[in-house]
Structure 1
Amino acid sequence: MNEADQDRYRAPALDKGLDILELLAGVDGGLSQSEIAKRLDRSPNEFYRMLDRLVKRGYVARLEGDRYALTLKLFGLAHRHAPMRRLSALAMPLMRELAEATRQENHIVVYDRGHPVVIAQIEAPGYWGISIRVGSRMGLFDTGSGHVLLAFRSPDLRQMMVAEHEASGGPAGRLTPAFEARLTEIAARGYERMPSAETPGVVNLSAPISSADGQAIGALTIPYIALINSPGAPDIDTTLDALLATARQISRLAGEGAHAVPDPQTD
C-alpha cells in the first residue's frame, strides 16, 4: 500500500488513542493531560474525550495529581489466549507428577483483569480431595495464589492490580503497610504458606511461576489436606519442597528462567 492509500484509510481517532497508549507504555508514574499533549505535539483539548474513553474502557487509569497511566488490561488481552494455553500445555505433565508425588490437588492461577483466575488444574489421585474448577476467579488478598501474584510483581504493577481488583468489586483499602510487609516476606522466602480463608483444615501452599526478571506470570498452588490413614503420604514440608521444585521446572520450560524462583527457606 502506497502513502496515498495509507492516508486514504487513516482513522484519526484511532491513531490518537494508539498514540496515547504507546506514549504511556514508555513512562513510569503516568503523565498529566498537558504533558501528554506536549509530548505528542497536540492541543490538550484534543485528548480530553479520548482519555475519558480510555479510562472508562479500563485501558488507562486516572491517578492522583490528575495523571494518567496504563492499566494491565492490554497485558491481560495479550496473555489471555495463546501464551496461557502454552503455559498450561507445558505445565500439565509436571502437575500430574506433582499430584502423584504429593497425593494432593494442584492448580495454576494467573492474574486477569482484576482477579486471579485458575487456568489449569489436576485432581488429587485419591478418591477424595479439594477440587478447584478451571476458570474460577479468586480473591487477591485472601488466597495464597493472590499473595504470590502480588508479592512477585513490581510496586507499580502491584498498585495497578489492586486498583483493578477494587474497581471490579474487590475489597478496598487492603494494601496496608502490614500487608505490604507480608508480601515482602513472601518474596524473600519464595512462597506463601497460609491457612485457607474458606475451608477449615486446608493450608494453601503457593509458589511463583516466574519470568527472568522475577515477575510472577502465574502461581502454582496446592490446597494441602493432611491425609489420615494414608501410610507414606508426604507431610506438608515435603509437599512444599515438591511444589517449589515443580514451579522452578515450569518456569524453566516456559522459557522464562528458573533462577527467578527462589530456593525454599525455612519459616
Structure 2
Amino acid sequence: METSKDRYRAPALDKGLDMLELLAGVDGGLTQAEIAKRLGRSHNELYRMLDTLVRRGYVARIDGDRYALTLKLFGLAQLHIPVRRLVSYATPLMRELAATTHQATQLVVFDRGSAVVIAQQEAPSYWGISIRVGSHVSLIDTGSGHVLLAFRPQDERLMMLAESGGDGAAQDVGPDFFAELDQIRDRGYEMMPSAQTAGVFNLSAPVLGPDGKALAALTVPYIHLVNDPAAPDIARTVKLIQETAERLSRLAGSDVGKEPQDA
C-alpha cells in the first residue's frame, strides 16, 4: 500500500541528494561506476543527474573520470544566517578598527568562485580607499583573496581556484604561488602592494572558524596619510588588523588567541 510519505517523494531529487551526500564523505572523488555501485543504482540512472550537477557547479570532474564536490554548497551556506551573524559581530569591531587605524576596512568571504565584500567601514576622515559591499575581487592578486586561499588545505585551494577561473586556474598560478600562500599562513597575515591602485598596500588577516579555516578576510587598503601624523604606521596597522581578526575569530567559535588553561 502506498503511504503518504511515498506519494510525495521526488525520486530525481533523492538521487541528486544521495550523490551529494556520498561525495561529501570521500576524499579524492569517485568514478561514475563507483558512485553507482555505492548507491546501488545503474549507470543510466545516474548519468543525467550527475551531468546536471556538474553543469550547475555542485560537482566537478577531476583526474579525467572522477567526480568530487565543489565548494558551491559551502558558498550558498555562507550567504545564509551565519554570514549575517558574522557581519553583525564584525560591524562594531570594524568601526573600532577604522577609528584606530584611520583607514577604511572591509570583510571578504569566498562565495561560488569569487571573493565577495560582505561588509565595509569608511575611514573616519575624508581620505580612504573603500570598496562597495557586494563587490567581487580576485582571489589571485588581492590580499583578501590570498588570505582566503592561504588558510585552507591545498585540495580546497585548488577547488576555489577552479571555481574562480576555470579548470586551468590552478595550473596558471604555478607552484611559487602556493609556496607564497604557505608563507602567508605561517606569518598569519598578508601585506602586498595593490595590483589595482598605485600607492595602496593590501593588509589582510584571516577570520578563522573552529576548524582553523578562513571564514573571511579582514582587510585594510592602507594608504600613507601624510597629513595625519597621529595615524599608525603600516606595521602597527597590521598588528591592529590581526588583533581585530582574532577577536572576530573568537566570536565565530575559534580558539585562536586564547590563553591555554592550566591542566
Please say if residues 212 and 259 of structure 1, whose CA atoms lie closer than 8 Å, have aligned partners that are also in contact: no
Please say if residues 210 and 252 of structure 2, whose CA atoms lie closer than 8 Å, have aligned partners that are also in contact: no
**Out of 172, 181, 184, which is 1:183 matched to?**
181
Code of the residue aligned with 1:199 in structure 2: it is T
Alignment of structure 1 residues 110-121 onto 2, 5 Å: 110-121=109-120
Please say if residues 227 and 233 of structure 1, whose CA atoms lie closer than 8 Å, have aligned partners that are also in contact: yes
Hey, what does 1:91 align to over in structure 2? 90
Please say if residues 109 and 115 of structure 2, whose CA atoms lie closer than 8 Å, have aligned partners that are also in contact: yes
Please say if residues 103 and 221 of structure 2, whose CA atoms lie closer than 8 Å, have aligned partners that are also in contact: yes
TM-score, structure 1 length as denominator? 0.93
Aligned mates of 2:230, 2:28 — CA distance in 1: 53
Code of the residue aligned with 1:253 in structure 2: it is L
> By how many angstroms is 1:171 displaced?
5.7
Please say if residues 162 and 169 of structure 2, whose CA atoms lie closer than 8 Å, have aligned partners that are also in contact: no
User: Would the alpha carbon gap of residues 259 and 23 (structure 1) be closer, same or farther in structure 2, given more than 3 Å must change?
Assistant: farther
TM-score, structure 2 length as denominator? 0.94
Hey, what does 2:139 align to over in structure 1? 140
> By how many angstroms is 1:249 displaced?
0.3
Alignment gaps of 5+ in structure 2? 259-263
Alignment gaps of 5+ in structure 1? 261-267
Aligned mates of 1:164, 1:217 — CA distance in 2: 17
Provide the aligned length of Structure 1 versus Structure 2: 258
Hey, what does 1:19 align to over in structure 2? 18
Hey, what does 2:69 align to over in structure 1? 70
Identity of aligned residues (%): 65
Hey, what does 2:47 align to over in structure 1? 48
Residue 249 in structure 1 maps to residue 252 in structure 2: no
User: Would the alpha carbon gap of residues 3 and 119 (structure 1) be closer, same or farther in structure 2, given more than 3 Å must change?
Assistant: farther
Code of the residue aligned with 2:190 in structure 1: it is E
User: Would the alpha carbon gap of residues 3 and 122 (structure 1) be closer, same or farther in structure 2, given more than 3 Å must change?
Assistant: farther
Please say if residues 189 and 204 of structure 2, whose CA atoms lie closer than 8 Å, have aligned partners that are also in contact: yes
Please say if residues 142 and 202 of structure 2, whose CA atoms lie closer than 8 Å, have aligned partners that are also in contact: yes
Hey, what does 2:235 align to over in structure 1? 237
Alignment of structure 1 residues 123-138 onto 2, 5 Å: 123-138=122-137
Please say if residues 158 and 170 of structure 2, whose CA atoms lie closer than 8 Å, have aligned partners that are also in contact: no
Partner-residue secondary structure (3-state), 1:208: strand
Aligned mates of 1:55, 1:259 — CA distance in 2: 40
Aligned mates of 1:174, 1:145 — CA distance in 2: 19
**Out of 212, 215, 229, which is 1:214 matched to?**
212
